[in-house]
Structure 1
Amino acid sequence: MTETERSTLEERLHDVQQRIAQAARAAGRDPKEVLLVAATKMNDAERVQAAIQAGLTACGENRVQELLEKYEQGAYQGADLQFIGTLQSNKVKYLLGKVSLIQSVSSLKLAECIAKEAKKRNMCQDILLEVNIGREEAKSGFLVETLDSSLEALSKFPEIHIRGLMAIPPIPTGTDKNSRYFAEMRQLFVDISAKKYDNVSMDYLSMGMTADFEEAIRFGANIVRVGTAIFGRRPYPVGTGLSREIQ
């Protein structure tokens, strides 16, 4: 990285942090309640480390192979590491012991796979359940009407701790915003919080990205996942092998 690139990255990060704080205060909340998880996908270890040195405290990766390569390069040292992307059951084993939180648990099968792998390691893995709040056919996630029965089933697995919910609402069209989806997620979060399930504690509501994180905070998000506003648009660096997939 050049010094100019490093300076630009620092400015972008600080701008996002300030916007989060302003959005929280506008909603009558303490800015410290909102965790910024930087979506570090497609950014090399040097850029991730530069963001951490500038004050970033949590990273979120979307792809297992990329996470593993950058993990070995020390990309995440000094920050918490979470997984925020689509996860296949056969890749769960590569994440446990490396990430504090798997945000994108989108099915009973995947959650049970995580529990099974965690049991092998004599550990408990924190997860969030991903909700398909927009009912999009092309998107994975739990439907609202299946959440209660799913929570009941998953509460019987002591190897996983459900810490809350995550959602990626549909892309807004025209002047439409995602306010109604954020409001639905907030109500769902509140409703589940009032119920008592083993191994379930509604600590985190993860929603909001670069285009809408301030709106998400207004509706109660306490984790926002922001990438482009911090790192800008960036293709995979040539020759790093970050596009390879685990077989």
Structure 2
Amino acid sequence: MAVNLEAYHSITEELSDKRVTLVAVSKTKPVEDITALYEAGQRDFGENYVQELLEKEGKLPKDIHWHFIGHLQSNKVKYIAPFVYLIHGVDSYKLLLEINKQAAKNDRVIPCLLQVHIAQEETKFGFDEAELDEALGRIETESLTHVAVKGLMGMASFTDNRQKIAQEFAYLHTIFNKHAQRHAFDILSMGMSGDYEVAVLEGSSMVRIGSLLFGTRPSKM
């Protein structure tokens, strides 16, 4: 078991002082490792793959808050709609519509975050600022009663340049502030194991940390 409980307690103490929520990224990690963090008090866990999430949800305590943090395909929303706590990476209005549809079938309102593209890498998903404005306008005028957009999510460029990372997070925080009051946003999810400290300094209220807690993971499933 690779769970680093010392790091977990140190990080949770640091984040609780700043009122930042820790999502433990448990993708590719066994049930035993998740259980170890659960017994230490962790309740928010993040998964990237639908099938893996379904398997774990069926084996672990029902009071876990399961966050879907990967790129979600519309045809797979139906599998996680009955229980998912928060969907982080809503990167298109089409996907939001499908989440609303599947949430209605389960008589739920599913909390979501809209993903904003702030990094230089083209491989990262998300709305640009103009697309975000358009999507938020449509949400106001169309009847999406089974989703609750709680805020924004973004991932910084994969770089060692901390100044660049800080600038990208600061940009997302500015966009968040632009919309927060009107849309009752209360979550800004940005920051992972390598850059969460920068993200918190730039206003993040939720971080996604995996390798610092669980150790490094294989590059492929």
Shared fold per TM-score greater than 0.5: yes
CA radius of gyration, larger in: 1
**What is the deviation of 1:106?**
0.6
1:164 aligns with 2:147: no
TM-score (norm 1): 0.82
Find the aligned partners of 1:104 and 1:161 in 2 and give their Cα distance.
14
Amino acid at match of 2:186: D
User: After the TM superposition, which parts of structure 1 deviate over 3 Å for at least 4 consecutive aligned residues?
Assistant: 173-177
Residue aligned with 1:87, SS: coil
Query: CA deviation digits over 1:205-236, x for unaligned, max 9?
Result: 00000011111111110100000000001339
* Conserved 8 A contact 2:82-2:103: no
Match of 1:63 in 2: 49
The Cα RMSD (Å) is: 2.0
Match of 2:98 in 1: 113
Match of 1:24 in 2: none
* Conserved 8 A contact 1:208-1:216: yes
2:79 pairs, out of 94, 101, 122, with 94
Query: CA deviation digits over 1:191-215, x for unaligned, max 9?
Result: 00243xxxx4211000000011111
Match of 1:225 in 2: 208
2:188 pairs, out of 198, 201, 205, with 205
Find the aligned partners of 1:41 and 1:227 in 2 and give their Cα distance.
8
**What is the deviation of 1:141?**
0.7
* Conserved 8 A contact 2:74-2:95: yes
1:16 aligns with 2:11: yes
- Work out the number of aligned pairs and report it: 219
Question: Superposition pairs for residues 188-199 of structure 1, below 5 Å?
Answer: 188-195=175-182
Amino acid at match of 2:35: Q
Residue aligned with 2:152, SS: strand
Which has the higher mean CA deviation after the structures are superposed, 154-163 or 82-91? Answer: 154-163
* Conserved 8 A contact 2:93-2:135: yes
Find the aligned partners of 1:41 and 1:222 in 2 and give their Cα distance.
21
Residue aligned with 2:45, SS: strand
Unpaired runs of 5+ residues, structure 1, are 22-29, 237-241
* Conserved 8 A contact 1:101-1:128: yes
Unpaired runs of 5+ residues, structure 2, are none
TM-score (norm 2): 0.91
Q: CA 1:144–1:203 in structure 2 vs 1: closer, same or farther (change >3 Å)?
A: same
Match of 1:215 in 2: 198
Q: CA 1:234–1:137 in structure 2 vs 1: closer, same or farther (change >3 Å)?
A: closer
**What is the deviation of 1:135?**
5.2
1:133 pairs, out of 118, 122, 125, with 118
Q: Between the two proteins, what is the percent identity of the paired residues?
A: 37
Query: CA deviation digits over 1:111-169, x for unaligned, max 9?
Result: 11111112222321110000011254222111112111111112321111100000011
1:53 aligns with 2:36: no
* Conserved 8 A contact 1:19-1:214: no
* Conserved 8 A contact 2:188-2:204: yes
Amino acid at match of 2:97: E
**What is the deviation of 1:170?**
1.1
Which has the higher mean CA deviation after the structures are superposed, 103-112 or 131-140? Answer: 131-140
* Conserved 8 A contact 2:154-2:190: yes
**What is the deviation of 1:176?**
4.7
Find the aligned partners of 1:159 and 1:79 in 2 and give their Cα distance.
21
